Amino acid sequence: MKLLEKLPQEKVLRDPIHDFIHIQDQLILDLINTKEFQRLRRVQQLGVANTIFHGATHDRFGHCAGAYELARRVTDHFAQYYASKDADDGLWNPEERLVTLAAALLHDVGHGAFSHTFEHLFHTDHESMTQQIITGDTEIHQVLLQEGPDFPNKVASVIAKTYPNPQVVQLISSQLDVDRMDYLLRDAYYTGASYGEYDLSRILRMLRPYKGGIAVDIGGMHAVESYLVARYQMYLQVYFHPVARGMEILLEHILGRVKELLAEGEEPNSLVGPLLAPVFQPDHDLTVSEYLRLDDNLFLTAINGWQDADDTILADLSQRFLNRKPLKSIQITEQSAPHLDRLEKIVNEAGFDPRYYTARNDAYDLPYDDYKPAAKKPRTQIELVLADGSHRELSELSTLVGAIKGRASLDQRFFFPREMLDNGPDDLFTELHNDFKSFIRNDTFIPGED
């Protein structure tokens, strides 16, 4: 059945993280050349984070190519050293190679512009979109079909984690998968933060296929520790960055304001244009082809235009966003959160509509956890293989991981306009601003006594 073959000579893409992305199959080359995959060049990997880490301009194309390359290296290594001899030996079946590579390459193909904000606001889901792109009326689907009529479904089921072979599923999606292994290094490289670095080549050498999925040889324990610490640090240092969140909230409020204006009767075509219109259409589920027209440029161009909007809130928020005037923030706690209305009240008095100029935002991450059958989404735990072949869960042997396991990182914040902290000579609201600031100590909201 296979219509697509190995390339006579491998092709390479220069990659700053992995040096070269090696393309050895016509299928992979054809997938990269589809318009759906090329669209990933127009979707930034870290959304607005480049307003804080100006180097972080990288896009999802590079990340997907990188995840593919790691999958290629792992499956080659498995084929050389851990190829299955009989069906039941729990080793690697080399016939899983292409489905693994395709799934790795395509795992984020459904990501849209500013996904975090977008999905929150418009109730879409990039994983489901990825599956629709793979199985729907797309160039990607056509390419995959050439490998076999059921091949698109197989790739989609890997994304959905319903594929029968747990080794394939875990390589693409687990607590130690090619997705995370790539994006930690890539995000570290582009932000210039050194925190995301860990010993990739050692981990790749230490992965071991077994009946239940992918484990790690005990010799790789410290490398995995570094990887988890890297992940923990990147969350706290980069992904949780309060200034980036202050930009995201602006974006969310801009789109929310547009939604409201349309609900109030503004003319969609002049406000949002034809490509963006479906997004705001009430009770409309975006089609795959509508979705695929959306990219970062489209949103940023709309915001560029909205700077001239008649609605002063929309115009002001759009200017703040494009000119990088993020909302400021302070930490809040379970204790102080119920008292935020005091702050909102002052912000309101200072002339800012709290619906658009304040927000409460929680950043949450659980860096590692072992398998908890009762959990809503039980995690695939990381298992170590000892010399005699027996397995132990990582945190049993690693002090460091034991300390992280099951402990979430949480950063709860209240956002507000930076004007609230002003106190310059021309400040019209000196008293209000002083009042506001009296609630802040060490970057934290201290409500004081009632």
With respect to a copy of itself, which residue has the nearer C-beta, 152 or 367?
A: 367
- Give the residue with the Cβ less far from a copy of itself, 163 or 189: 189
| Residue whose tokens read 């949480």 | 410
Q: How far is the CB of 187 from a copy of itself (least distance, A)?
A: 11
Burial of 237 (0-12, 13-18, 19+ CB in 10 A): middle
If the CB atoms of residues 62 and 209 are measured against a copy of itself, the closer one turns out to be: 62
Tell me whether residue 154 or residue 241 sits nearer to a copy of itself (CB atom). Answer: 241
The whole-angstrom separation of Cα 345 and Cα 349 is 6
Q: State in angstroms the smallest separation of the CB of 26 from a copy of itself.
A: 13
Residues forming beta bridges with residue 99, ordered by sequence position: none
Closest approach of Cβ 430 to a copy of itself, in Å?
21
Radius of gyration of the chain (CA): 24
Q: Are 209 and 78 in contact (CB under 8 A)?
A: yes
Non-local CB neighbours of 45 within 8 Å, separated by 6+ positions: 56, 58, 59, 60, 62, 63, 183, 186, 187, 190
Give residues with Cβ within 8 angstroms of 431, minimum separation 6: none
CB 131 within 8 A of CB 159: yes
Q: Which helix (H) or strand (E) holds 8?
A: strand 6-15
Q: Which is nearer to a copy of itself, 163 or 368 (CB)?
A: 368
The H or E element spanning position 21 is: strand 19-25
Count of beta carbons in the 10 Å neighbourhood of residue 207: 23
Angstrom distance (rounded) from CA 342 to CA 155: 52
Minimal distance, residue 194 CB to a copy of itself, in Å: 5
* Shortest distance (Å) from residue 441 CB to a copy of itself: 6
Please report how close the Cβ of residue 161 comes to a copy of itself at its closest, in angstroms: 28
C-beta of 37: minimal distance to a copy of itself in Å? 9
Given the complex with a copy of itself, which of 35 and 372 has the nearer CB atom?
A: 35
Q: How far is the CB of 366 from a copy of itself (least distance, A)?
A: 12
Identity of the residue, 81 or 364, whose beta carbon is nearer to a copy of itself in the bound complex: 81
42 or 379: CB nearest a copy of itself = 42
Distance CA 322, CA 318 (A): 6
d(CA 364, CA 236): 9
